[in-house]
């Protein structure tokens, strides 16, 4: 499994939690700079962000990909659309949550959200 990380770096403990939830090993973590210039159009910036993953068209469509989306909401939703176009489906996403009472603030892996399954379930309600 490949983790495309568009946010803060994962700690070894977070990677362990992720592998436990996923039931498989993270073979590669690709750290991707997700900073955008708010004064420029977002779509080309997000396309460039996805390009920085360094995957070929074949890899986008065949590798098991998990994403940790950027925190900025407009970047995240635009990235999901971009990745759907490249993969042919919505990749699953990691959700982190703060650890209560931790000083300094720390985060743990809360769940893996199967975005494609969310889409498919929602279609049944139309």
> Which of 45, 25, 42 lies closest to 33 in space, CA to CA?
45
For the whole model, what pTM was predicted? Answer: 0.93
Q: Which residues have a Cβ under 8 Å from the Cβ of 119 and sit 6 or more positions away?
A: 90
Q: Using alpha carbons only, how large is the chain's radius of gyration in Å?
A: 15
Q: According to the model, what pLDDT value does residue 126 have?
A: 84
Q: According to the model, what pLDDT value does residue 111 have?
A: 97
Cα→Cα distances 113→57, 85, 90, 126, Å: 24, 19, 10, 21
pLDDT of the chain along its 126 residues, tens only? 999 999 999 999 999 999 999 999 999 999 999 999 999 999 999 999 999 999 999 999 999 999 999 999 999 999 999 999 999 999 999 999 999 999 999 999 999 999 999 999 999 988
């Amino acid at each position: 499994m490949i983790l495309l990380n568009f946010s803060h770096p994962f700690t070894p403990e977070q990677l362990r939690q992720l592998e436990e939830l996923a039931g498989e090993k993270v073979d590669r973590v690709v750290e991707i700079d997700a900073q955008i210039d708010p004064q420029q159009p977002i779509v080309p910036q997000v396309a460039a962000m996805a390009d920085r993953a360094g995957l070929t068209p074949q890899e986008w469509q065949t590798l098991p990909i998990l994403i940790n989306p950027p925190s900025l909401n407009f970047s995240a939703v635009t990235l999901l659309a971009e990745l759907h176009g490249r993969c042919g489906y919505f990749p699953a996403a990691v959700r982190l949550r703060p650890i209560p009472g931790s000083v300094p603030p720390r985060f743990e892996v809360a769940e893996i959200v199967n975005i494609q399954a969310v889409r498919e379930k929602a279609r049944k309600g139309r």
